[in-house]
Amino acid sequence: MNVLAIDGALGAFSAAVAVDGAAVATRCEPGAVALERGLTLVASLLDETGLAPGRLDRLAVGIGPGGFTGLRIAVSYAKSLAAAWARPLVPISSFDLLEYGREYEEVLVVVVGRPGVISARYRLGSRLRRASGRIADVLDAVLPGPSSSGGLDVVGAPEDVLHALAERGIEVRSEDPLVMPPAAAAALAAASRTPAASLHELAPDYGELPAAKPPKR
C-alpha cells in the first residue's frame, strides 16, 4: 500500500510516504511554513519516490490537537488533494501520532499549545480521558489520582508539565515520540485505519481555540 501523509499540528509541517509498511521518504520544515512551503514539500516528496498521485492508495492527515494555523492548513491541503486525486483520506489524532510505535498499558500523551497551555490524553487500557487548557487544570481533569503504580509513561511532555507531575508525587518515565516526523507516523498508521466516510465530516481538532487578541485601534 502506498500512503502519502501530511501533518501541520505538531510544531512543524511534515510530509511522508510509506510503501508497504515502511516510511521511504520524509520532509519536515519547522516553523509556520505550511502555507508557503506545504504543497512544494508534497510535490518534492512525490518526485523523490517516483509516485504519481494515481499510484497512491490513500492519504492521511494529522487532525490535531495542535497549532491552530498549521493544523488548519494541513487539513485543508489534505482534503483538497484527496478530492482532486479521488483518494480516501485517513484522519489521525496527534495523540495517536505521538504514541505510535510503542505499546502502553498506561500512558499520558501531551501536545503543547500556547505557553502554559496543553492538550493531554490519559489512556489506561481502552479507557481514555482528555482535556485542553492550563497545565494544572488539564492534569487534574485527566489523571486518576495522586500516584501511578510502577510509574507513568509520559510522551511529548515539556519540562513544565514534568514538574507539575512531580509536584503531584507521580513517578514518570518521560519519552520522546518513537517515530518522527509526525507525518511518518501518520503514513505508517494509515494503512490499518478506516478512511473518513466523507471529506465534509473530517474536521480539525484544535484542542483549545487560540487566544483572543483585542483589535488594534
**What is the pLDDT averaged over residues 21-34?**
88
Cβ density class 70-107: b for 16+ within 10 Å, e for less: bbbbbbbbbbebbeeeebbbbbbbbbbbbbbeeeeebb
Confidence of residue 215 (pLDDT cuts 50, 70, 90): low
**What is the pLDDT averaged over residues 12-22?**
96
pLDDT for 33 equals 74
CB atoms within 10 A of CB 173: 11
Cβ density class 122-145: b for 16+ within 10 Å, e for less: bbeeeeeebbbbebeebbeebbee
* pLDDT per residue as tens digits for the range 32-71: 777 778 888 999 999 999 999 999 999 999 999 999 989 9
* Residue 79 or residue 29, greater confidence: 79
CATH number of 2-93+178-201: 3.30.420.40
Nine cell digits for residue 46? 512525490
* pLDDT per residue as tens digits for the range 185-212: 999 999 999 999 999 999 999 987 555 4
* pLDDT per residue as tens digits for the range 74-108: 999 999 999 999 999 999 999 999 999 999 999 99
Q: Tell me what the pLDDT averaged over the chain comes to.
A: 92
pLDDT at 213 over 80: no
pLDDT for 159 equals 96
pLDDT for 31 equals 74
